[in-house]
């Protein structure tokens, strides 16, 4: 399909909103992967050999017919949800007192699927904003606290046992939190799970942890060098190999005003995503993650970080990422865009635009 220059693209109107095209394209690829699994399940029922071979590549042991149907239905459900996720975007246009034109997201619907790239992107922005709002007070109210960035890994394994791997990661970390040095020195944690796909298609889950430690951590009886952390983690995992561990200070000697900024930057990196969108194009990887991580928490915070984060957000919260004085203002005008799967871009949708204006007029007339 060739591009018609008469179309109005979101990326050309708003530089900062170009990323919508990127995220929705990745999401569209994941959606197609989910549909391919549902189609394979249906075709395998008719003894289609290509579909049977595809399913055999996803499972080391063929699931029961009922389980396959369940997973096929789940894949279809998530695919349909992702299809509508962020499909239509309504932007509000307002002019500030200084004459600046503000172009902000005003209305959208999100699917909330854990592995939806669009939702993950919006969620990571929201989590960063939540922390940014509290970072300065956390640093100011805990002047004697230092911050460490700890990464804990385990050996790669088949994504088919990802649920067992995550349970082992979390239970092993809980063992460390009960140790004397940890209980006496660590005053708060932010723990997230990231799952990457190896070149062989295996799952590589690992923990990213920000530790808020008191000055007592740096005393000889409590301080742990990297090699000591390796031994602590190896023992907690109860494995016969040496796991990779990385620990570093979030900042050294720096200006007070820079501390919250440096801490926020590290937190933002930790909260960026649980799984890369590009890894989700692997059918086996996507299906087992979708099936075996349902209901699992990927983010937790304790101590001085308690209550800063959450995992579930409403559409409104994913629309308005940061506190914005423009948010409560009635739009001077609106623009609507819809994602075109042919062009793989957001294109201005005049019909949706007029429909939204009519709806807003009706709400205003009835006091909505």
Write the pLDDT tens digit of every residue in 1-16.
344 446 799 999 999 9
In a domain, 2, yes or no: no
What's 328's DSSP letter?
T
Which of 100, 129, 87 shows the shortest CA–CA distance to 326?
100
Task: Let me know whether 199 and 258 are in one domain.
Answer: yes
Q: pLDDT tens across 230-249, in order?
A: 999 999 999 999 999 999 99
Q: How many Cα atoms sit within 13 Å of 103 on the Cβ side? A: 13
Pairwise CA distance, residues 8 & 13, whole Å: 8
Length of the chain: 368
Residue 43: which domain range? 10-110+319-365
Task: Let me know whether 99 and 228 are in one domain.
Answer: no
Q: How many structural domains are present in the chain?
A: 2
pLDDT of residue 3: 46
Task: Let me know whether 185 and 250 are in one domain.
Answer: yes
Q: Which residue, 268, 292, 312, sits at the end of a domain?
A: 312
Asked if the model's pLDDT at residue 223 lies above 80, the reply is yes
pLDDT of residue 349: 97
Q: Which residue, 267, 297, 312, sits at the end of a domain?
A: 312
Task: Let me know whether 261 and 159 are in one domain.
Answer: yes
In a domain, 3, yes or no: no
Which of 183, 188, 123, 124 shows the shortest CA–CA distance to 150?
188
pLDDT of residue 98: 83
Q: Which residue, 312, 332, 352, sits at the end of a domain?
A: 312
List CB contacts of 111: < 8 A, sequence separation 6 or more. 78, 81, 82, 84, 85, 118, 119
Q: Please indicate whether residue 182 or residue 264 has the higher confidence score (pLDDT).
A: 182
In a domain, 346, yes or no: yes
Task: Let me know whether 308 and 352 are in one domain.
Answer: no
Asked if the model's pLDDT at residue 363 lies above 90, the reply is no
In a domain, 172, yes or no: yes
Any idea what the Cα angle at residue 213 is, between residues 244 and 193, rounded to 5°?
A: 40
Task: Let me know whether 81 and 180 are in one domain.
Answer: no
In a domain, 188, yes or no: yes
Q: Please indicate whether residue 252 or residue 113 has the higher confidence score (pLDDT).
A: 113
Any bridge partners for residue 157, and if so which?
203
Task: Let me know whether 79 and 215 are in one domain.
Answer: no
pLDDT of residue 311: 85
Q: pLDDT averaged over the chain?
A: 92
Which of 44, 65, 46 shows the shortest CA–CA distance to 55?
44
Q: pLDDT tens across 272-316, in order?
A: 888 999 999 999 999 999 999 998 999 999 999 999 998 899 999
Share of the chain above pLDDT 70, in %: 94
In a domain, 5, yes or no: no
- What is the torsional sign of CA 82, 87, 88, 90? positive
pLDDT band at 257 (very low <50, low <70, confident <90, very high): low
pLDDT of residue 81: 97
Q: Cβ of 339: how many Cβ atoms within 10 Å?
A: 24
Helix axes 283-292, 49-58, angle to 10 degrees: 60
pLDDT band at 327 (very low <50, low <70, confident <90, very high): low
Task: Let me know whether 129 and 219 are in one domain.
Answer: yes
Asked if the model's pLDDT at residue 366 lies above 80, the reply is no
List CB contacts of 330: < 8 A, sequence separation 6 or more. none
Asked if the model's pLDDT at residue 35 lies above 80, the reply is yes
Task: Let me know whether 306 and 327 are in one domain.
Answer: no
CB 279 within 8 Å of CB 28: no
Report, as an integer, the average pLDDT of 250-254: 69
Task: Let me know whether 195 and 104 are in one domain.
Answer: no
Task: Let me know whether 209 and 232 are in one domain.
Answer: yes
Task: Let me know whether 31 and 135 are in one domain.
Answer: no
List CB contacts of 352: < 8 A, sequence separation 6 or more. 88, 90, 336, 338
In a domain, 185, yes or no: yes
pLDDT of residue 56: 96
Q: pLDDT tens across 59-113, in order?
A: 999 899 999 999 999 999 999 999 999 999 999 998 887 878 888 999 999 999 9
Token couple for 311 = 């995992």
List CB contacts of 228: < 8 A, sequence separation 6 or more. none
pLDDT of residue 2: 41
pLDDT of residue 73: 97
Sheet holding 88-95, edge to edge: 101-107, 88-95, 333-340, 345-348
């Amino acid at each position: 399909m060739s591009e018609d220059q008469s179309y109005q693209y979101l990326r050309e109107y708003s530089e900062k909103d170009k990323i919508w095209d990127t995220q929705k394209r990745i999401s569209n690829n994941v959606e197609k992967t989910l549909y391919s699994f549902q189609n394979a399940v249906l075709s395998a029922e008719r003894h289609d050999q290509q579909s049977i071979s595809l399913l055999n590549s996803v499972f080391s042991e063929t699931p029961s017919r009922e389980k396959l149907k369940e997973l096929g239905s789940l894949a279809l459900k998530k695919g349909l949800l992702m299809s509508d996720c962020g499909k239509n975007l309504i932007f509000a246009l307002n002019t500030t007192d200084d004459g600046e034109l503000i172009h902000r997201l005003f209305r959208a619907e999100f699917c909330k699927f854990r592995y939806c790239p669009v939702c993950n992107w919006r969620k990571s922005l929201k989590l960063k904003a939540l922390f940014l709002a509290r970072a300065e007070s956390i640093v100011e109210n805990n002047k004697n606290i230092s911050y460490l960035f700890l990464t804990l890994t385990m050996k790669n394994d088949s994504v088919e046992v990802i649920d067992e791997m995550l349970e082992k990661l979390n239970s092993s970390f809980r063992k460390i939190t009960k140790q004397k040095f940890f209980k006496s020195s660590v005053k708060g944690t932010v723990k997230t799970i990231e799952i990457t796909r190896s070149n062989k298609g295996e799952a590589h889950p690992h923990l990213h942890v920000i530790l808020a430690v008191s000055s007592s951590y740096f005393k000889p009886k409590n301080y742990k060098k990297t090699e000591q952390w390796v031994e602590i983690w190896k023992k907690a995992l109860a494995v016969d190999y040496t796991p990779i561990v990385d620990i570093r200070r979030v900042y050294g000697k720096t200006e007070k005003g820079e501390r919250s900024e440096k801490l926020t930057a590290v937190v933002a990196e930790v909260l960026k995503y649980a799984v890369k969108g590009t890894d989700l194009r692997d059918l086996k990887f996507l299906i087992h993650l979708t099936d075996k991580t349902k209901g699992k928490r990927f983010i937790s915070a304790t101590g001085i970080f308690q209550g800063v984060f959450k995992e579930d957000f409403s559409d409104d919260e994913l629309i308005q990422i940061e506190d914005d004085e423009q948010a409560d203002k009635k739009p001077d005008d609106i623009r609507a865009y819809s994602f075109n799967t042919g062009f793989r871009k957001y294109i201005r949708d005049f019909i949706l635009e007029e429909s939204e204006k009519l709806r807003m007029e009706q709400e205003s007339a009835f006091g909505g």
